[in-house]
Amino acid sequence: METAKLLKQLTEARGPSGYEAEIREIVREQFGRYADETRVDTLGNVIALKRGDGPEPRPTVMLAGHMDEIGLMVKQIEKGFLHITTVGGFDPRVLLGQQVIVHGRQELPGVIVSVPPHFTDPADREKTVPLDKMFVDVGLPPERVEALVRVGDLITVHSDYLELSGGWAAGKAMDDRTAVAAIAICLEELTRVKHQWDVCAVATVQEEVGHFGAITSAYDLKPTVGIAIDVTFGHQPGLPESETVKMGKGPSIAFGPNIHPQVFDSLVTAAKDMELPHQIEPVPGRTGTDAWDIQVSRSGVPTGLLGIPLRYMHTAVETVVLQDVERTGRLLAGFIARLDDDFFDALTWKPRSRKGSEGEEVA
C-alpha cells in the first residue's frame, strides 16, 4: 500500500461534517478490500468487520478514525456574495484569501474575501477580520449565484495534497483522514497476521461537531475495547513542550482518565515488542477525540487513543510525517494481533460475594 497515494486520495475528497457522502464511498471501498463485510449505519459511519479466528463468542475491538473534515456553509446570499458560517472549528484568521469550492447545484470555485486593505481604516488593519465580515466570492453575477447557490449549501476548502521534502506532506483534512489511512494500513496488515478478536473498523462522521458518529456507533457495536485514532499537536515554535509531541517520532499513546490502564499498557508493550518508535502523551482530562465518548458508551468501554503528530491543525496546510501514519497503522495491527484471553481477563474484574475475602473467587 502506498501511503502517499492513499493519503492524497483520502484528503482531497470532500466530506464536511454531516455531508460525508463523497469520502464515505472512497473509505468504504478502501476498507472493503481487507474486511469481511462493510456497511453504513444510520448517521453515515462506515463500519468494516474483519473477523478473528478465535472461538466464538469473540470479543470485539472497535477502531475509530473520523472521516469528516471542518468546512463552511452558506448562511445568506447578498448581491451575489455569500455570507458564511463555520461547520466545526475554523480559526477565522486562516480563512482570508483561501480558495474554496461551493457545493451548490454545481461545484463553483470561489475565494474567501473581505474589504481589501487599501479601503480599510488603518486602525482596523491591526485587528483580525471577524467571520461575519468575510464573504465567499464565486465571481458570478447575482442572478447566476441565486440560480446555483442556496442557503445551507456546503463549502469546502480547496487544497491539494502537497509532498514536502523528507517524507513529509501537507494538505487539508489530514485531521483525521491520516487516521483513516492508518486504519486501512492496519486492516491490510491483518490480512497477513493472525488475530483472535473481531475487528470493527469505523470511519466515523460528525466528530468535528460533537463526536456524534462515535457516540452512535459505539452504542450499536457494544465493543469490548475501543481505540480511537486522531491527530495530535506536533511541536512547533511557540507551543509548550508539555502539550505537544515530536514530529517523526511515531504515534503518541495517550495516558490519563480517558484511557483504560490495561489498554494503555498493551499498546505500549506492543510498540516496544515491535521496536516501533512511539511517544507517551499524558492528557489530564478530555482528549477532545472520539475516545471521550466511546469510553462512556452504555455501561462503559475500556478505551485507548493513538495520536498522529500534526502541525497547523484546522488549516488548509495540515502537516504530517508519512512514516508516523504508517507506524500508527502497524501499531494498531500489532496490538490487535496480541489480543488474547489473558488480556480479556486482565480487563475484567471478577465479581466478589460476601463470603470471599478480597482476591478470592467464591462460587
Partner 1 sequence: MKETIKKLVEAFGPSGYEGTVRDLIRQAVEEEGLANGKGDEVRIDALGNLVVLKKGTGGGRKVMLAGHMDEIGVVVTHVDEKGFLRFGRMGGIRPLTLLGGRVRFADGTIGVVGAEKLEDRSKVPGLDKLFIDVGAKDKEACPVRVGDVAGFFRPFEDLGDRLVAKAMDDRIGCAVILQALRELKTVAHDVYFVFTVQEEVGLRGATTSGYGVAPDLALSVDVTTTGDTPEAHTMAVSLGNGPAIKVKDGGMLAHPGVKNWLIETAEANEIPYQLEVLEGGTTDARAIQTSRAGVPAGCVSIPCRYVHTPSEMVDYSDVTNAVKLLVAALSAPIELE
Partner 2 sequence: MWLKELSEAVGVSGHEDEARQVIIKAITDQVDEYRVDSIGNVIALKKGDGSSDLKVMVAAHMDEVGFMISQIEESGLLRFFKVGGLDDRILPAKVVWIGDKKVPGVIGIKPVHLTEQGERKKPVKHDKLVIDIGASSKAEAEKLVQRGDYATFATQFVELDPEGKGWRTVRGKAFDDRAGCAVLIELLATQYPFDLYAVFTVQEELGLRGARVSAFAVAPDFAFTLECTGANEIPTPKDISPSTRLGHGPAITVMDRSFIADRRLVQLLIDTAEELDMPYQIKQPGVGGTDSGAIHRSREGVPSATVSVPGRYIHSPAAILSLDDLDHTVHLMRESLIKLGNW
Can you give the binding site for partner 2, defined by CB under 8 A? 240-243, 255-258, 260, 280, 282, 284-286, 295-302, 347-354, 357-358
- Cβ–Cβ < 8 Å for 69, 172: yes
Q: Indicate which single residue of 10, 13, 18, 307 sits in contact with partner 1 (rule: CB under 8 A).
A: 18
When the beta carbons of 106 and 165 are compared against partner 1, the nearer one is 106
Rounded Cα–Cα distance for residues 152 and 74 (Å): 5
Examine residue 257 and tell whether it contacts partner 1 (CB under 8 A): no
**Closest C-alpha among 137, 142, 171 to residue 155:** 137
How many Å apart are CA 136 and CA 153, to the nearest integer?
Answer: 12
**The three cell numbers locating residue 134:** 468575510
What DSSP element (H or E) covers 234? Answer: none
Return d(Cα 23, Cα 154) in angstroms, integer.
Answer: 14
Which member of 20, 189, 207, 281 is catalytic? 207
Q: Is 188 in the site for partner 1 (CB under 8 A)?
A: no
Give catalytic status of residue 207 as yes or no: yes
CA dihedral 345→349→354→356, nearest 10 degrees, is 40
Q: Does 139 bind partner 1 (CB under 8 A)?
A: no
State yes or no: residue 77 binds partner 1 (CB under 8 A). Answer: yes
Between CA 82 and CA 90, with CA 84 as vertex, the angle to 5 degrees is 145
Q: Should residue 191 be labelled a site residue for partner 1 when binding is judged by CB under 8 A?
A: no
> Pick from 35, 87, 201, 332: which binds partner 1 (CB under 8 A)?
87
By the rule CB under 8 A, 182 interacts with partner 1? no
Q: Which does 39 bind (CB under 5 to 8 A by kind): partner 2, partner 1, none?
A: none
Q: Which residues form the interface with partner 1 (CB under 8 A)?
A: 17-19, 41-43, 73-78, 83, 85, 87, 132, 150-152, 206, 209-210, 212, 215-217, 219-220
The residues that are catalytic are 207
